[in-house]
Amino acid sequence: MTEKPVITIGTRGSRLALIQTHMVADALRAAHPSLAEEGAIAIEIITTSGDKIQDRSLLEAGGKGLFIKEIEEALFAGKIDMAVHSMKDVPAFLPDEGEMACILPREDAHDAFLSVNYASLEDLPEGATLGTAGVRRKAFALAKRPDLKVVLFRGNVETRLQKLRDGVADATFLAVAGLNRLGLTDEITAVMSADDMLPAAGQGAVGVEIRKGDTRCRDLLALINCHVTALCVAAERGFIAALDGSCKTPIAAHAVYDDAEEKLTLEGALATENGEMLWHGAVTKPAQKGDETAAAAIGNKLGRDIRAEVPQNILDQLMGRVA
């Protein structure tokens, strides 16, 4: 057993966050025998603002970046060496002090529809109650079903499932990836197709952030980085960067990579929060694994194309520049 950890990894304390952090730790141990020794990797649980705030939406509180704020602060202060994030929680622009050094192979990126009594979004009765905390899910659901009543659904996966059983709402959405990782796949009523609910940028992907220039950690993580997932997530994040990197706007982006053809296909969408207006685009371009900069540029171009279609007054409202 080592006297002090070689690597300290920071994470949120939810069961899903810990599962994802242990995925990173196990991959590092498998790739580097020196890290397999007992005590070589330590895990530091950090409570974030997003965990503490449960009485209002993240939109009101400051955005999804609240799920990583305190973890990044610990990283930049040198208290931890690596920070594990769900990529869908990471704003489009990282702080200057950080870099995303690794992304694990992606789980299913789609959203799951969950309901005790109804088989699908279409099956919900007129005026049914939908529980969600996300502006994207709210907007895209209302685009399909403007009659639904949307109520705030905060908390970890298990908390939301209990709220559903307690009848707080008739239905909710959760990420398929999280349910799979938690062993709760049987809770899924239906998997939403990308046509009905385009996923959030980065959904299903786990990223590891380090201090910029930390070559030791970057080299350790290089062996467990999934180049295909990193390429796709870079394109998705490039898309949201062109529209709004704060996680406060109803934006969706999903990329897939054809290894044989060496082509990347990206879909992106932007909506008003009430779902009344929606802009969508898709593009397929040549892309090389390892060239995340080029992938991000593909996403950024699609984002700018969609941005150009949105009337300026609506764009101002979506970006929060108008009260």
Does the residue 199 lie in any domain? no
Query: Residue 132 maps to which CATH number?
Result: 3.40.190.10
Q: How far apart are CA 260 and CA 116, in angstroms?
A: 42
Residue 322 has pLDDT above 70, yes or no: no
Active site residue 89: yes
Identify any residues that bridge with 207 across adjacent strands, giving them in sequence order: 85, 103
Identify any residues that bridge with 77 across adjacent strands, giving them in sequence order: none
Both 133 and 215 in one domain: the answer is no
Both 220 and 233 in one domain: the answer is no
Range of the domain at 91: 1-106+205-225
pLDDT score of 31: 98
Both 213 and 248 in one domain: the answer is no
**Exposed, middle or buried, 97 (CB in 10 Å: 0-12/13-18/19+)?**
middle
Helix ranges restricted to H, the chain: 15-31, 49-52, 58-61, 69-76, 135-144, 157-165, 176-181, 215-222, 227-243, 292-309, 312-318
pLDDT digits (tens, 9 = 90+) for 53-64: 554 445 544 455
Structurally, how many domains does the chain consist of?
Answer: 3
pLDDT digits (tens, 9 = 90+) for 277-305: 999 999 999 999 999 999 999 999 999 99
Does the residue 279 lie in any domain? yes
Residue 228 has pLDDT above 60, yes or no: yes
Mean pLDDT across the chain: 92
Predicted TM-score (pTM) of this structure: 0.92
Both 281 and 153 in one domain: the answer is no
pLDDT score of 323: 40
pLDDT digits (tens, 9 = 90+) for 178-211: 999 999 999 999 999 999 999 999 999 999 999 9
Q: How far apart are CA 106 and CA 20, in angstroms?
A: 11
Both 21 and 66 in one domain: the answer is yes
Residue 24 has pLDDT above 70, yes or no: yes
Q: What is the mean pLDDT of residues 100-109?
A: 98
One of 26, 51, 55, 89 is an active-site residue; which one?
89
Percentage of the chain beyond pLDDT 90 is: 82
pLDDT score of 116: 96
* CA angle at 109 for the pair 105 and 113, rounded to the nearest 5°: 145
